Amino acid sequence: MDYTHLITIEPGKRSGQPCIRGMRITVRDVLGYLAGGMTVSELLEEFPELTIDDVRACYAFAADRLPVPVA
């Protein structure tokens, strides 16, 4: 997924953390809620400004930052 238009990094916003579409909701916030047991449906209900594509973009962004295993 090309998340580059959904995940933004602005030095003056949330200390430069990656955010969703320029909002003050960070990738870390979204992944933290999901890791804490919130379902995607619950997340979207709690934050109606988010979309399913925003959540997918968070997953893709995080996956791209995982270290590549060395064989």
Contact 44, 7 (CB under 8 A): no
- Tell me, yes or no, whether 49 lies in a domain: yes
The per-residue pLDDT for 69 is 84
- Tell me, yes or no, whether 1 lies in a domain: no
- Tell me, yes or no, whether 36 lies in a domain: yes
Q: Residue 70's pLDDT band (boundaries 50, 70, 90)? A: confident
Q: Rounded to two decimals, what is the model's pTM? A: 0.91
- Tell me, yes or no, whether 26 lies in a domain: yes
Q: What are the tens digits of pLDDT across the range 3-62?
A: 999 999 999 999 999 999 999 999 999 999 999 999 999 999 999 999 999 999 999 999
Residue 11's CATH number: 1.10.10.10
- What dihedral angle (degrees, nearest 10) is formed by the CA atoms of 21, 23, 26, 27? -20
- Tell me, yes or no, whether 56 lies in a domain: yes
Which DSSP helix (H) or strand (E) runs through 7? Answer: strand 7-8
- Tell me, yes or no, whether 55 lies in a domain: yes
The per-residue pLDDT for 68 is 86
Number of independent structural domains in the chain: 1
- Tell me, yes or no, whether 71 lies in a domain: no
Q: Which amino acid is at 57?
A: A
Structural domain including 55 reads 7-64
